[in-house]
Structure 1
């Protein structure tokens, strides 16, 4: 099945009360149900049924209630791929059954590479200092930091908490518009001489 458009997001944390209370990343919702509904509404306002959404980890919290997690997942438009985040595991190396059992477009993975708008994009829940193709202009999208870790060169946080994402998935063009002319920055590493 083909898709119409690609989108990227991270750190939705559906059902996670702490997202409303943490001082550094507090979300502007009166309660967790309002947060969940706003995230679902914002997602469905931009993503169509045939679009593909890369979710860069930490999809939901409170995974013991698998029915609630599934209900949220099924309400979200589009085909969905999960790049695994720290809250997507039941224990180290074992994806939580409530996450693994969802209808992902492909098996959840810790790192995915894709192409968008003719550009190579490396996707990981965690920010990488260097990534495949960095010297050749590849982009790197990450989550985990809830907008608190600025990107370097062609890397950036794509989480819903970032000021420019509007609590919704965004396209490659939206995410890179302000970065198109930034220099390619490579971490200093004597092993990687130009």
Structure 2
């Protein structure tokens, strides 16, 4: 197998009209189709077939159109893992069947850990005040806040709306470059 790169992203909200509104994220697209196509193109510009992508929640919206969601998923390169976000559920504690039925590398889960660049990374959809490994220089990546919650120590939002990600998945090095590495809790 060729060299594999790990990428992180969150809050793509494929098909979600509200993401274009000035009262929400004010994404710079004419409509959701243009937004979806840009997100897919940006993803595939960096992610290769065997790369790993950790999506930290809120993959899509409008899950009643399962064919559209499955079509988008099938066009995205890489081996994909999902940490569940609030829009990935049908009802409380019930993952939406369209989301659950996509070809994730493992069943979607509430939180996940990996090692990247020799560093421990804890992932959840929501920002945490503390996380596994915090006292041992572990990192925490999250979504949900659409770039509105600034990084703190070794914790940061990795969602597509963050100013430094350009609506695209990013690597550990890209996401942590310039961050204060000290323990914060």
* Superposition TM-score, scaled by structure 1 size: 0.93
| Aligned equivalent of 2:154 | 154
| Aligned equivalent of 1:62 | 62
Residue 149 and residue 37 in structure 1: after superposition, are their counterparts in 2 closer, same or farther (change >3 A)? Answer: same
Task: Note if 1:176 corresponds to 2:184.
Answer: no
| Aligned equivalent of 2:118 | 118
**Bigger radius of gyration among the two:** 1
Give the 3-state SS of the residue equivalent to 1:87 in structure 2: helix
Give the 3-state SS of the residue equivalent to 1:178 in structure 2: coil
CA deviation after TM superposition for structure 1 residue 152, in Å: 1.4
Structure 1 gaps of 5+ residues are 187-194
CA deviation after TM superposition for structure 1 residue 22, in Å: 3.9
Question: Over aligned residues, Cα RMSD in angstroms?
Answer: 1.2
Deviations 1:126-185 (A, max 9, x none): 000000110110000000000001121100000000000000000000000111x43210
CA deviation after TM superposition for structure 1 residue 24, in Å: 4.4
Any runs of at least 4 consecutive aligned residues in structure 1 with deviations exceeding 2 A, and if so which?
none
CA deviation after TM superposition for structure 1 residue 2, in Å: 7.9
Structure 2 distance, partners of 1:114, 1:66, is 30
How many residue pairs align between the two structures?
185
Structure 2 gaps of 5+ residues are none
Alignment of 1:1-194 (within 5 A): 4-179=4-179, 181-186=180-185
Deviations 1:50-73 (A, max 9, x none): 000000000000001111000000
Deviations 1:28-57 (A, max 9, x none): 001110000000000000000000000000
* Superposition TM-score, scaled by structure 2 size: 0.97
Structure 2 distance, partners of 1:100, 1:22, is 31
Residue 22 and residue 94 in structure 1: after superposition, are their counterparts in 2 closer, same or farther (change >3 A)? Answer: farther
CA contact (8 A) 1:3 1:52 kept: no
CA contact (8 A) 1:15 1:32 kept: yes
CA contact (8 A) 1:145 1:157 kept: yes
